[in-house]
Amino acid sequence: MKIGIRRAILVIPALLLLVGCSSTDEVQPKPEPSATSQAATTTQALSASATVKRVIDGDTIEVDDSGKATVIRLLNIDTPETKHPNKTVQCLGPEATEFLERKLPAGTQVHLEYDVQKKDKYDRTLAGVFLLDGEFVNEEIARSGFGTAVVFEPNSKFYARVLNAQNMAINTKTGLFSPDISCSIPAQINALQSRMESAQTQEELDSLLSEADLLIEILEKVPTDEAFTHLASYGATFAAQKQLIQLKDLKSKYAQTIPAQSAVDDGSAGETNTQHDAAEMEQVAAEQQAAAQRIAEEQAEAAQAEADRVASEQAEAAQAEADRVAAEQVVQPEYAPAPAPDNPNPEPAQPAPQPTYQEPAPVQEPYPNYTGPRCYAPGGKTWKPCP
């Protein structure tokens, strides 16, 4: 659907409040540091100690560096704009500034760590900012959802740490990634859906669909201008890709919710428009019927596949149970039979010899034919003739 020039002028500033920017010479974020910057980070990094004088915005501060006022642009983090003379205040820009003011009040001692390139084209010093207890401020901004990870070539020393912190904000739906903050992209998508659901006229729906088209275009075709660095880094996230899909589905769902209005009947032209509208409605009906039929077929195929799977599992379980019962019913012998003898015809066992009883030999008379008196020895078993 198309939108008039006047409506586009009203919609674009509202959506651009969603984007962040930076006044540095920035490019779209890259998932991996370049080979040049990787080699450069192997060299010894320069560092310095300084005292915070004031916070300029969410990613820029002024410090006292050995008695010299120095503007520091935090490396590998970009926050929404708040004070650019030619740009509007962007979503969570003031909140990012307040966060940094709480983190770095005037008088705070910090440690500055530099990368390959120390100055940008605006003569600002580029650095990672650390508190004395080791807390990495650049990283904490991203973790709190007030900025996104970016690469300002050739400086990529802190990109991995800041990107990891940004992913934590995405997972916890914090800050720029929160659907509860009205100006965030997730909240804007939810608001579009709610307004589409309650749209009563074709004109109202056309306006909402045009806003969705513009937001889709911004997420798909991020401008290379440095003012859109923050949006470029946001659009490179997986969360933004999911939101882009959500937007497209939303537009597809509501694009044909309200039938197109018929043109004013002005004779033959009105009749032609009516026929055209009828043809379009028939085409829409045919497409909807085809889609319904396709969904029904897919559901039937899924149901049949599920039934086949259940039947197969039940058959396998029944077979396993039958095999188990059959195995339990096999009778096992209680003892092993005695082995067969080596000799199939053994000799019969001979009876043991019985002991024979022998009568004692008769006692020989020592004095045969003696009839005289006998004198017995003690015990009375032997005798001899008495003298």
Catalytic residues: 73, 81, 124
Ramachandran angles phi, psi of 96, nearest 5°: -65, -40
Is the Cβ–Cβ distance between 129 and 55 less than 8 Å? no
Give just the sign of the alpha carbon dihedral 184, 187, 192, 193. positive
Residue 178, number of CB atoms within 10 A of its CB: 17
* The two structure tokens encoding residue 57: 């915005």
Is the Cβ–Cβ distance between 57 and 96 less than 8 Å? yes
- Distance between CA atoms of residues 204 and 182, nearest Å: 21
The CB-side HSE value for 383 (13 A sphere, CA atoms) comes to: 14
- Distance between CA atoms of residues 270 and 55, nearest Å: 64
Element (H, E) at 56: strand 47-57
Element (H, E) at 218: helix 202-220
Q: CB within 8 A of 111, min separation 6: which ones? A: 47, 48, 49, 50, 129, 130, 131, 132
* The two structure tokens encoding residue 82: 């708040």
Q: Give which of 101, 12, 26, 11 is closest to 59, Cα–Cα.
A: 101
**Alpha helices, DSSP H, located in 18-157:** 35-40, 93-103, 137-143
Residue 73, beta-bridge partner list = 60, 126
Ramachandran angles phi, psi of 289, nearest 5°: -65, -45
- Distance between CA atoms of residues 111 and 313, nearest Å: 65
Cis status, amide bond into 378, omega within 30 of 0: no
